[in-house]
Amino acid sequence: MYKYFGIISLAFILFSCSKSKEETSASVAMNESREPDTIQPITVDVKMVYIPGGEYLPFYGEDTVLVEVKPFMIDERPVTNKEFLSFVKANPQWRKSVVKRIYADSNYLKLWPSDLELPIGADPDAPVCNVSWFAAKWFAESVGKRLPTLDEWEFVAMADADTPNARRKPAYSDYIVDLYLIKNKHLNPVKQSPPNYWGVYNMFDLVWEWTDDFNSIMVTGDSRTGQYDDKGLFCAGAATNSTDVMNYAAFMRFGLRTSLKAHYTVANLGFRCAKDTSLNNN
Among 68, 181, 194, 242, binds other proteins (CB under 8 A): 181
Question: 3-class SS at 233?
Answer: coil
Q: Is 177 an interacting residue with respect to other proteins (CB under 8 A)? A: yes
Minimum CB distance to other proteins, residue 45 (Å): 30
Q: Is 255 an interacting residue with respect to other proteins (CB under 8 A)? A: yes
Nearer to other proteins, 173 or 196 (CB): 173
Q: Is 266 an interacting residue with respect to other proteins (CB under 8 A)? A: yes
Nearer to other proteins, 197 or 264 (CB): 264
Q: Is 182 an interacting residue with respect to other proteins (CB under 8 A)? A: yes
Minimum CB distance to other proteins, residue 204 (Å): 12
The radius of gyration of the chain from alpha carbons, rounded to an integer in Å, stands at 19
Q: Is 248 an interacting residue with respect to other proteins (CB under 8 A)? A: yes
Q: Is 240 an interacting residue with respect to other proteins (CB under 8 A)? A: yes
Long-range residue pairs from 113-119, CB within 8 A, at least 24 positions apart, any chain: 115/88, 116/85, 116/88, 116/89, 118/81, 118/82, 118/85, 119/81
d(CA 201, CA 190): 8
**Cβ of 106: how many Cβ atoms within 10 Å?**
10
Q: Are 73 and 277 in contact (CB under 8 A)?
A: yes
d(CA 12, CA 216): 9
The count of chain residues that interact with other proteins, using the rule CB under 8 A, is: 38
Nearer to other proteins, 53 or 255 (CB): 255
Minimum CB distance to other proteins, residue 97 (Å): 20
Query: Residue 192 gets which letter from DSSP?
Result: -
Q: Where is 5: in which H helix or E strand?
A: helix 2-32
Q: Is 237 an interacting residue with respect to other proteins (CB under 8 A)? A: yes
Among 224, 226, 281, 282, binds other proteins (CB under 8 A): 224
Query: Residue 96 gets which letter from DSSP?
Result: T
Please give the residue ranges that form the binding site for other proteins (CB under 8 A).
Answer: 107, 175, 177-178, 180-184, 219-225, 228, 233, 235-237, 239-240, 248, 251-252, 254-256, 258-260, 264-269
